[in-house]
Structure 1
Amino acid sequence: MVQHGASPALAQDMADMVEAQNNGIYDAEPRDPGSTTATGFRQWCQDSLKPAAQT
């Protein structure tokens, strides 16, 4: 990343983020019927986020 113009700090932050993802940072809350909705992210963006952003 640094060779392509990113600062050393940004490159380190990105490396730290990838390492955290590889170590399961997003696995803290398991998905189950009680924590999952029928609406996917794309649909939520279309139904909720887009209209809210347009006001």
Structure 2
Amino acid sequence: MMSRKETLGVLGHWGLADEPITDIHPKGSGEEEARAFYVGDDCVLKCSGNLD
């Protein structure tokens, strides 16, 4: 799973490093760590350990 710092590093490659990032937590999942992030108003970054 990507940390916030790693997420920011990836976003820099697309010129999105200055966009606000908000964690997405699925309702009822009980997960405390985000696996998806809103990036600005137009993008969502989803992180997965499954490379397929």
Q: Which structure is larger by alpha-carbon Rg, 1 or 2? A: 1
- TM-score of the superposed pair, with normalisation by structure 1: 0.24
TM-score by length of 2: 0.25
Which protein is richer in helix relative to its size? 1
Higher strand share: 2
